[in-house]
Structure 1
Amino acid sequence: MEPFVVLLVLFSALLHATWNAFLHLSEDRIWVLGMMAIPYVVISAIGVIVLPMPAPAAWPFIFASALLECGYLLALIRAYRSGDFGQIYPIARGLSPMLVFVGALVFANEALKPLAAIGVALVSLGIVSLAFRRGMRFSGESVPFALLTGLFISTYSVVDGIGARVAGNGLSYIMWVYLIWNIPQFLLAWHWRGGAKGLFIGRTVVLKGITAGVLALAAYCLIIEAYRYLPIAMVSALRELSSIFAVLIGWLFMREKLTARRIVACALVTLGAVLIRI
Structure 2
Amino acid sequence: METFVVLLVLLSALLHATWNAFLHLSEDRIWLLGMMAIPYLVISAIGVIVLPMPAPAAWPFIGASAVLECGYLLALIRAYRSGDFGQIYPIARGLSPMLVFVGALVFANEALKPLAAIGVALVSLGIVSLAFRRGMRFSGESVPFALLTGLFISTYSVVDGIGARVAGNGLSYIMWVYLIWNIPQFLLAWHWRGGVKGLFIGRTVVLKGMAAGVLALTAYCMIIEAYRYLPIATVSALRELSSIFAVLIGCVFMGEKLTARRLVACVLVTLGAVLIRI
Residues 226, 235 of structure 1: 8 Å contact kept? yes
Counterpart mapping for 1:211-222 below 5 A: 211-222=211-222
Residues 31, 205 of structure 1: 8 Å contact kept? no
Residues 131, 138 of structure 1: 8 Å contact kept? no
Paired with 1:188 and 1:246, the residues of 2 have a C-alpha distance of 28
Residues 65, 160 of structure 1: 8 Å contact kept? yes
User: What is the CA-CA distance between 1:206 and the residue it aligns to?
Assistant: 2.0
Paired with 1:90 and 1:44, the residues of 2 have a C-alpha distance of 29
Paired with 1:251 and 1:135, the residues of 2 have a C-alpha distance of 18
Deviation readout 1:103-139 (Å, 9 max, x if unpaired): 0000000000000000000000000000012169645
Residues 17, 242 of structure 1: 8 Å contact kept? yes
Deviation readout 1:228-255 (Å, 9 max, x if unpaired): 0000000000000000000000000000
Aligned residue for 2:142? 142
Residues 14, 242 of structure 2: 8 Å contact kept? yes
Residues 68, 152 of structure 2: 8 Å contact kept? yes
Residues 189, 199 of structure 2: 8 Å contact kept? no
User: What is the CA-CA distance between 1:191 and the residue it aligns to?
Assistant: 1.0
Give the percent of matched residue pairs that are identical in Structure 1 and Structure 2: 94
Paired with 2:179 and 2:27, the residues of 1 have a C-alpha distance of 26
Q: What do you get for the CA RMSD once the two structures are aligned? A: 1.2
Q: CA 1:77–1:136 in 2, change beyond 3 Å: closer, same or farther?
A: closer
Deviation readout 1:185-230 (Å, 9 max, x if unpaired): 1011111101111244354442222011000000000000000000
Paired with 2:45 and 2:202, the residues of 1 have a C-alpha distance of 26
User: What is the CA-CA distance between 1:70 and the residue it aligns to?
Assistant: 0.1
Paired with 1:86 and 1:135, the residues of 2 have a C-alpha distance of 15
Secondary structure, counterpart of 2:206 in structure 1: helix
Residues 32, 205 of structure 1: 8 Å contact kept? no
Secondary structure, counterpart of 1:201 in structure 2: coil
Secondary structure, counterpart of 1:53 in structure 2: coil
Paired with 2:59 and 2:5, the residues of 1 have a C-alpha distance of 26
Aligned residue for 1:109? 109
Which stretch shows the higher mean deviation, 146-155 or 181-190? 181-190
Residues 167, 173 of structure 2: 8 Å contact kept? yes
Residues 9, 226 of structure 1: 8 Å contact kept? yes
Secondary structure, counterpart of 1:116 in structure 2: helix
Aligned residue for 1:157? 157
Paired with 1:122 and 1:202, the residues of 2 have a C-alpha distance of 44
Superposed structure 1 runs of 4+ greater than 4 Å apart: 135-140
Deviation readout 1:250-278 (Å, 9 max, x if unpaired): 00000000000000000000000000000
Deviation readout 1:138-175 (Å, 9 max, x if unpaired): 45530110000000000000000000000000000000
Number of residue-to-residue matches in the alignment? 278
Aligned residue for 1:80? 80
- 1:67 corresponds to 2:61: no
Paired with 1:95 and 1:171, the residues of 2 have a C-alpha distance of 26
Residues 101, 232 of structure 1: 8 Å contact kept? yes
Residues 82, 139 of structure 2: 8 Å contact kept? no
Q: CA 1:202–1:146 in 2, change beyond 3 Å: closer, same or farther?
A: farther
Residues 31, 206 of structure 1: 8 Å contact kept? no
Residues 190, 199 of structure 2: 8 Å contact kept? no
Residues 193, 199 of structure 2: 8 Å contact kept? no
User: What is the CA-CA distance between 1:59 and the residue it aligns to?
Assistant: 0.1
Unaligned runs of 5+ in 2: none
Residues 83, 138 of structure 2: 8 Å contact kept? no
Residues 93, 127 of structure 1: 8 Å contact kept? yes
Q: CA 1:137–1:275 in 2, change beyond 3 Å: closer, same or farther?
A: farther
Paired with 1:122 and 1:80, the residues of 2 have a C-alpha distance of 25
Paired with 1:88 and 1:202, the residues of 2 have a C-alpha distance of 29
Residues 123, 269 of structure 1: 8 Å contact kept? yes
Paired with 1:256 and 1:140, the residues of 2 have a C-alpha distance of 20
Q: CA 1:200–1:163 in 2, change beyond 3 Å: closer, same or farther?
A: closer
Unaligned runs of 5+ in 1: none
Paired with 1:6 and 1:251, the residues of 2 have a C-alpha distance of 26
Secondary structure, counterpart of 2:262 in structure 1: helix
